[in-house]
Amino acid sequence: MRAEPTPTPSLDTAARVREAVAAADDRKAVDLKVLHLEKVSDFTDYFLICSGTSERQVQAIADAVQERMREERVRPLHVEGYTRGQWVLLDYGDFVVHIFQEEPRRFYSLERLWGDAPDVTADFRS
């Protein structure tokens, strides 16, 4: 009897966030931030928050993140806002990606709302 090959283990959460950051950077995301929510939230470990300068750029950033995650065999649990391109949310369970246009980002101010969460952006930039 032949043993089944061991599936390649998926990336851990921090590595997936690092890949998402790289994908957003590749599409010239603006003002990218990573917040570590593990100690202040029970629904996710990280927020990746960034901006695009237009509807098309917001969608391109979302596409790039999804493609990079798909390469790692990770699919979002939920996608919201893609069609309008004002605020796209990609929920990967252990991390959530928020891609905004400038005005909605200022309005919702997630960085202020989650101000107790440490900004760990530097840990995820190459």
Domain boundaries, the chain: 13-114
119 residue type, one letter: D
Instruction: Round to whole Å and give the CA distance between 25 and 108.
Output: 22
pTM (two decimals): 0.89
**H helices within 10-50, ranges in order?**
13-26
Name the band, by pLDDT with cuts 50, 70 and 90, for residue 47. very high
Fold of 13-114: Beta Polymerase; domain 2 (3.30.460)
Whole-number Cα distances in Å, 49 to 10, 60, 68: 23, 15, 17
Q: Which amino acid is at 21?
A: V
| pLDDT, tens digit (0-9, with 9 covering 90-100), for 29-39 | 999 999 999 99
